[in-house]
């Protein structure tokens, strides 16, 4: 029974139980170990392990299984206990019984025989009596398993009263054990979403879990990508699962069967309501048998099937017409009760749809709105689609477009919204039309990656409202909504100064749309350098968005945490930044908004990278690239892949960095707002090759462009990179840019540029402090090490030692990454950019002639520079160059200067 | 474990790297306070033991993402503990003591980090018990 693959399923989470049983076997006071639990919890498996342990301890063991068919023939279940050649039947049963007892006595040879009896409730009375005799005469100790809801044999009850039974309840595994089991079975990490899906479906029942996992693996839904197991699509109902559930539920009479099927389709249902059409004793029997359970929800008793997997299996095997009848009957009952509760309209709509494939338009649209309020996008899609099949409806179009977008189906969302707009015609200022225009902007911008079309569409819609002749307040509100969205998209397009100009002074009155205004405000503030405002507005928006009384907004609230995290980083609070981003990611995963979750996962990884944890970031980027790839989120995948390129280059693996960069080229470009990240990644890879000139020029050029557009924070970040690589021009330009970014990190960057220009130890140390204040310890360490070099050269060894000690203290907090100026890279800090360039090429084995050709210089110039380099590094010549620069054997790895982490 | 949990544990372990002997000290102090009988199973002077403890933590955390390496490391650890006949209930009881010791010394501790460590401990403890079973 069940599917099989080559997966190995160890016994997990039962260690204490196992030990208690083994101890009991040696305890003469214990006659029976009674393992009780639901089907599939692993009682038999546990009993088998106990038996094995007993064997190894030298006990004689026997295993028997009671079945319903064996119960028809007394003693047949215990045939393994019968001496060879003896049969269960005979003229005098007591002769047979005595023979068995003697046989067991011989087998035991002084010790108790351990007898494992599976499903003891199905054992016939004669067998029960025999076992009872064996254990009372001290000849055997029994390990008995029994399914919940079955009657316990009288002899066992009696022994229990005598105190001779050790009873253990074997329940489902807790979540942690499931995590451990999956990791061991699949031999590696499992993506959070996959774990979540398997936990939700199995609820820790080992047998169901096993069936779900093997089914998913065989179907190719659960697959390993880049060292992580990922689930794509839903978990299937396998034949094995069906058999398990059928066996568990057992044979039911017609009434019980109908109730169970009804629950599978419509659960949870009120106990009072069910009692109206189902006799109470039927309900009670099913509850006692563990097939259904009653949950108290806000003082109402709700009935549901005992295990989520029952519903899944039952609905998949229910005949169409029968399910239709059950559903429509339930609809009638709910409506007869007045369909008062908030959820009822939604449920009725869904049931009608399930039953007949349609329902009335109003119910469907209202239901879809309710589904949207709980972010149940698959349900929104179902209901809205069904509504649109009946007639064009602007609200339904808007809802469907949103739902498709949230599930990553961008092309379809685009088509649906276009149709919706066309159907609305001249009615441009209605709330539904505004909503369509809004959703359309989002889909075009974020989904399809067509920013100009998105912005033009929104501007046109806004102007159409202005010209519509509708009353003032309608016009103002409609435009407020659309212009807030324009502002948001402009920020994502890297045009934040424009965004601030377009942003309406007042947020829209519609609470569902306020989030858009807040989001635009937060992003624009952050990117133009006003981090304080950005954090304040973003967190307020998050509070509003997650306030239970508020209706669901257009944007998922987790996005607010994205900008709050990035702005917190700017304010020198990386711990807070990471918490915010991780929180947002977890909320998005829990609500199934995978696209959003992917973006937030990227922010978390970026923060780790900035914090100097290149290894952590690298594994996070890898998982993200795999997940995003599976779901088709091309933009996030590209950023994750670029993140891999950068983190591997920071760890010194040039080959890997190039490979990842190559992969990125094949993926769609992200929104312009994220272009600076891309430039930085490319610059890092250039630096890995020792090509600092290209690295610096990439970031400086882009940085200038950003400054011209008013994206000051972004510009400051890029120019600071160039300063790290020793670019004096960038250092000269940075202060003007950073004047617009009055944040701790902006200040640190300003100090770094000042230190580059003056070269003074005091300035270097001030810059180090500045970065330390933002917890960017790697930069702090690098700057302090440089200060130590300068102080040494100035002949102040005490101050130098002090500076170096500070550098080491900071370096210790940034694991895996070398700090220039400490250890073998000492002295490299003193080289000018030109000297560094020449030195790195020479260290890789290029002759002076070749270097001269590479850089278009005279050989004499190259040799002059090299002489200076040797002097500064305190080495005799070329042979010691690689070691002095901290390059590994064979010239692979990066030039030390390149190892100053970005923003670290 | 999922990759996110692995990240949390790895990051926490890195933060704790300089103070692992202190973590060990806190752990053993609490252990002996809760289970005085265990004191005799350990040497009188605990410095070497505390250092070994720290090395084990570091090794295990580093190995988690690589299953063959993890299996080998946990098997090695298991052999050491089998000699002391550590029971399943003891493993279960010690988990929270260990996690609390980590919490006491990690400056950036949060609820998510606690859950991640608890999961990592469960994986390790179960793995050790599995390899100890013949």
- DSSP of A230-286: EE-SPPP--HHHHHHHHHHH----HHHHHHHHHHHHH-SEEHHHHHTTS-HHHHHHH
Question: Using 50, 70 and 90 to split pLDDT, how confident is the model at A890?
Answer: very low
Partners of residue B64 in chain A, C-beta under 8 Å:
189
Three-state DSSP class for residue A785: helix
Contact A47, A81 (CB under 8 A): no
Reading the block at residue A145, the tokens are 């398993």
Q: What pLDDT digit, counting tens, does each position of A176-220 carry?
A: 999 999 999 999 999 988 998 999 899 999 999 999 999 999 999
Report phi then psi at A300, rounded to 5.
-115, 140
* A898: confidence class by pLDDT, cuts 50, 70, 90: very low
- The whole-number pLDDT of residue A397 equals 95
Contact A10 B118 (CB under 8 A): no
- What whole-number distance in Å separates Cα of residue A38 and Cα of residue A205? 9
Closest CA–CA distance from residue B41 to any residue of chain A (Å)? 21
Please, are residues A446 and A523 in contact by the beta-carbon 8 Å criterion? no
The predicted-structure confidence for A581-634, as pLDDT tens digits, reads as follows 999 998 888 877 888 899 999 999 988 887 777 778 888 898 899 888 877 788
Q: Which residues of B lie closer than 8 Å to A, measured between beta carbons?
A: 1-7, 10-11, 14-15, 17-18, 64-65, 67, 87-89, 91-92, 108, 110, 112, 118-119, 122-123, 126-127, 129-130, 133-134
A-to-B residue pairs, Cβ atoms closer than 8 angstroms: 93
Q: Which helix (H) or strand (E) holds A593?
A: none
- The b-or-e profile of A747-770 (16+ CB within 10 A means b, else e) is bbbbbbbbbbeeeebebbbbbbeb
pLDDT tier for residue A387 given thresholds of 50, 70 and 90: very high
Look at A608 and B110 and tell me if their CB atoms are within 8 Å. Answer: no
Percent of chain A past pLDDT 90, that is, above it, reads: 45
What's the whole-number mean pLDDT along residues A887-897? 39
Distance CA A871, CA A868 (A): 5
Facing A189 at nearest CB: one of B2, B127, B133:
B2
Q: In which band, very low, low, confident or very high, does the pLDDT at A673 lie, cut at 50, 70 and 90?
A: confident
Average pLDDT of adjacent 10-residue blocks, chain B of 134 residues: 89 90 92 86 88 90 91 90 82 90 88 91 94 82
Q: Smallest Cα–Cα separation from A64: which of A50, A52, A76, A46?
A: A76
pLDDT of residue A105: 92
Q: What is the pLDDT of residue A853?
A: 86
pLDDT digits (tens, 9 = 90+) for A639-667: 999 888 888 877 767 788 888 888 887 78
Mutate to test the interface with A, among B89, B93, B126 (most CBs of A within 10 A): B126
Task: Inform me whether the pLDDT recorded for A3 exceeds 70.
Answer: no
Do the strands A165-169 and A32-37 form a parallel or antiparallel pair, or are they unpaired? parallel
Hey, are the CB atoms on B126 and A613 less than 8 Å from each other?
no
pLDDT band at A5 (very low <50, low <70, confident <90, very high): low
How far is A895 from A885, CA to CA, in rounded Å?
7
The string of pLDDT tens digits covering residues A318-356 is 999 999 999 999 999 998 888 777 788 888 888 988 898
B56: tokens are: 């084990």
Q: Which residue of chain B is at minimal alpha-carbon distance from A196?
A: B2
β-pair partners for A390: none
Closest CA to A778 of A614, A537, A592, A661: A614
Query: Given this model, what pLDDT does residue A683 score?
Result: 85
> Are A48 and A20 spatial neighbours (Cβ–Cβ below 8 Å)?
no
Q: Per-residue pLDDT for A824 more than 90?
A: no
A830-870: per-residue pLDDT in tens? 567 788 788 888 887 888 888 888 888 888 888 888 888 88
Query: Two tokens at A441?
Result: 């902007």
Q: pTM higher than 0.80 for the full model? A: no
**CA A657 – CA A641 distance, rounded (Å):** 10
**Which residue in the set A12, A15, A582 is minimally distant from B112, CB to CB?**
A582
Give me the pLDDT at residue A820, please. 57
Per-residue pLDDT reduced to its tens digit, A36-63: 998 888 999 999 999 999 999 899 999 9
Query: Any idea what DSSP says for residue A190?
Result: B
Inform me whether the pLDDT recorded for A894 exceeds 50.
no
Residue A873's pLDDT band, with cuts at 50, 70 and 90, is low
| pLDDT over 70 (residue A241) | yes
Q: Phi, psi at residue B121, to the nearest 5°? A: -65, -40
pLDDT higher than 60, residue A292: yes
Q: Which residue has the higher pLDDT, A81 or A175?
A: A175
Token digits of residue A185: 């079975």
A449 CB within 8 Å of a chain B CB:
no
Contacts of B89 in chain A (CB under 8 A): 15-16, 19
Q: What is the pLDDT of residues A737-773, one digit of tens each?
A: 999 999 999 999 999 999 999 999 999 999 999 999 8
Closest CA to A572 of A734, A741, A723: A741
Q: Which residues of A touch B88 (CB under 8 A)?
A: 15-16, 18-19
pLDDT at A685 over 50: yes
> Measured between alpha carbons, how far is A573 from A866 in angstroms, rounded to an integer?
43
Three-state DSSP class for residue A430: coil
In angstroms, the CA A168 to CA A159 distance is 15
Query: Which of A10, A190, A228 is closest, CB to CB, to B130?
Result: A10
| Distance in angstroms between the alpha carbons of the first and the last residue of chain A | 57
> What whole-number percentage of chain A has pLDDT above 70?
92
A131 vs A655: which has the higher pLDDT? A131
> Residue A819 has what pLDDT?
60
| Cα torsion A231, A232, A234, A236: sign | negative
Least Cα separation, residue B50 to chain A (angstroms)? 21
pLDDT in the model for residue A632: 75
* Summary mean pLDDT of chain A: 86
- Residue of A166, A136, A140, A161 whose CA lies nearest to A30: A166
Mean pLDDT of A571-575: 90
User: Hey, is the C-beta of A177 within 8 angstroms of any chain B C-beta?
Assistant: yes
pLDDT tens-digit profile of A493-508?
Answer: 889 999 999 999 989 8
Q: Are A139 and A81 in contact (CB under 8 A)?
A: no
């Amino acid at each position: 029974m069940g599917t099989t693959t080559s997966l190995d399923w160890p016994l997990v989470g039962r260690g204490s139980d196992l030990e208690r049983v083994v101890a009991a076997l040696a305890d003469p006071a214990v006659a029976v170990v009674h393992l009780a639990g639901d089907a599939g919890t692993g009682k038999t498996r546990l009993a088998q392990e106990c038996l094995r342990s007993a064997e190894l301890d030298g006990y004689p063991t026997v295993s028997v299984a009671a079945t319903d068919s064996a119960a028809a023939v007394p003693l047949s279940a215990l045939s393994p206990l019968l001496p060879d050649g003896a049969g269960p039947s005979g003229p005098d049963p007591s002769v047979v019984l005595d023979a068995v007892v003697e046989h067991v006595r011989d087998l035991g040879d002084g010790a108790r025989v351990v007898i494992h009896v599976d499903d003891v409730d199905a054992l016939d009375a004669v067998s029960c009596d025999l076992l009872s005799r064996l254990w009372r005469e001290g000849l055997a100790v029994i390990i008995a398993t029994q399914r919940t809801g079955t009657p316990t044999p009288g002899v066992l009850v009696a022994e229990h009263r005598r105190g001779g039974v050790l009873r253990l309840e074997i329940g489902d595994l807790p979540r942690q054990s499931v995590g451990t089991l999956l990791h061991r079975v699949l031999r590696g990490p499992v993506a959070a979403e996959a774990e979540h899906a398997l936990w939700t479906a199995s609820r820790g029942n080992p047998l169901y879990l096993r069936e779900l996992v093997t089914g998913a693996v065989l179907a190719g839904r659960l697959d390993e990508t880049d060292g992580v197991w990922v689930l794509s699509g839903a978990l299937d109902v396998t034949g094995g699962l069906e058999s398990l559930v059928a066996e568990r539920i057992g044979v039911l009479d017609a009434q019980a069967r109908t109730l169970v099927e009804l629950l599978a389709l419509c659960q949870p249902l009120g106990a009072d309501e069910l009692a109206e059409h189902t006799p109470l004793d039927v309900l009670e029997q099913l509850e006692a048998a563990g097939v259904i359970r009653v949950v108290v929800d806000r003082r109402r008793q709700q009935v549901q099937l005992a295990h989520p997997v029952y519903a899944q299996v039952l609905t998949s095997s229910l005949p169409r017409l029968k399910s239709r009848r059950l559903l429509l009957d339930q609809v009638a009952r709910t409506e007869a009760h007045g369909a008062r509760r908030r959820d009822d309209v939604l449920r009725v709509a869904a049931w009608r749809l399930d039953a007949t494939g349609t329902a009335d338009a109003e119910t469907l649209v209202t239901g879809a709105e309710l589904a949207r309020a709980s972010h149940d996008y698959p349900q929104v899609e179902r209901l809205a689609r069904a509504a649109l099949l009946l007639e064009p409806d602007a609200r339904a179009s808007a809802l469907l477009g949103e739902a498709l977008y949230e599930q990553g189906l961008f092309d379809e969302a685009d088509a649906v919204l276009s149709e919706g707009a066309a159907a609305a015609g001249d009615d441009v200022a209605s709330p539904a039309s505004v909503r369509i225009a809004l959703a359309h902007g989002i889909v075009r911008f974020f989904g399809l990656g067509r920013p100009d079309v998105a912005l033009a569409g929104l501007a046109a819609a806004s102007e159409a409202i202005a010209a519509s002749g509708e009353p003032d307040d309608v016009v103002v509100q409609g435009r407020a909504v659309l212009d807030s969205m324009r502002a948001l998209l402009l920020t994502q397009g890297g045009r934040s100064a424009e965004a601030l100009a377009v942003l309406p002074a007042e947020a829209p009155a519609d609470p569902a749309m306020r989030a858009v205004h807040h989001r635009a405000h937060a992003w624009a503030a952050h990117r133009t350098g006003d981090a304080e405002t950005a954090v304040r507005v973003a967190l307020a928006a998050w509070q509003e968005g997650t306030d239970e009384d508020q209706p669901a907004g257009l944007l998922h609230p987790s996005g607010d945490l994205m900008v709050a995290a990035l702005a917190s980083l700017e304010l020198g609070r990386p711990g807070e930044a990471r918490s915010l981003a991780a929180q947002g990611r977890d909320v998005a995963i829990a609500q199934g908004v995978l696209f959003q979750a992917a973006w937030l996962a990227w922010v978390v990884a970026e923060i780790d990278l900035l914090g100097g944890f290149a290894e952590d970031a690298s594994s996070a980027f890898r998982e993200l690239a795999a997940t995003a790839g599976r779901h088709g989120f091309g933009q996030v995948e590209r950023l994750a892949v670029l993140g891999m390129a950068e983190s591997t280059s920071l760890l010194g693996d040039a080959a890997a960095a190039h490979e990842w960069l190559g992969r990125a080229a094949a993926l769609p470009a992200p929104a312009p707002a994220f272009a600076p990240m891309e430039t930085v990644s490319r610059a890092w890879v250039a630096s890995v090759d020792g090509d600092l000139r290209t690295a610096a020029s990439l970031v400086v050029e882009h940085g200038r462009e950003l400054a011209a557009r008013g994206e000051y924070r972004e510009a400051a970040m890029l120019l600071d990179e160039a300063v790290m690589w020793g670019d004096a021009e960038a250092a000269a330009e940075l202060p003007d840019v950073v004047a617009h970014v009055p944040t701790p990190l902006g200040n640190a960057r300003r100090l770094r540029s000042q230190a580059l220009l003056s070269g003074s130890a005091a300035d270097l140390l001030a810059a180090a402090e500045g970065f330390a204040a933002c917890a960017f310890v790697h930069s702090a360490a690098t700057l302090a090490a440089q200060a130590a070099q300068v102080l040494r050269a100035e002949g102040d060894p005490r101050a130098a030692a002090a500076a170096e000690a500070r550098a080491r203290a900071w370096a210790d907090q940034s694991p895996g990454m070398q700090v220039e100026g400490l250890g073998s890279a000492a002295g490299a800090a003193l080289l000018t950019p030109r000297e560094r360039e020449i030195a790195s090429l020479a260290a890789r084995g290029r002759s002076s002639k070749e270097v001269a050709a590479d850089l278009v210089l005279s050989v004499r110039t190259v040799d002059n520079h090299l002489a200076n380099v040797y002097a500064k590094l305190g080495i005799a010549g070329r042979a010691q160059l690689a070691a002095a620069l901290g390059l590994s054997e064979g010239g692979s790895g990066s030039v030390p200067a390149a190892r100053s982490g970005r923003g670290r | 474990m999922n990759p996110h949990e692995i990240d949390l544990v790895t990051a926490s372990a890195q933060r704790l790297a300089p103070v692992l002997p202190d973590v060990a000290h806190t752990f053993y102090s609490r252990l002996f306070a809760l289970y005085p009988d265990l004191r005799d199973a350990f040497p009188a002077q605990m410095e070497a033991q505390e250092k070994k403890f720290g090395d084990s933590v570091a090794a295990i955390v580093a190995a988690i993402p690589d299953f063959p390496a993890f299996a080998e490391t946990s098997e090695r650890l298991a052999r050491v503990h089998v000699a002391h006949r550590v029971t399943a209930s003891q493993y279960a009881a010690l988990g929270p003591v260990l996690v609390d010791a980590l919490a006491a010394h990690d400056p950036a501790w949060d609820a998510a980090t606690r859950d991640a460590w608890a999961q990592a401990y469960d994986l390790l403890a179960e793995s050790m018990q599995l390899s100890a079973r013949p």
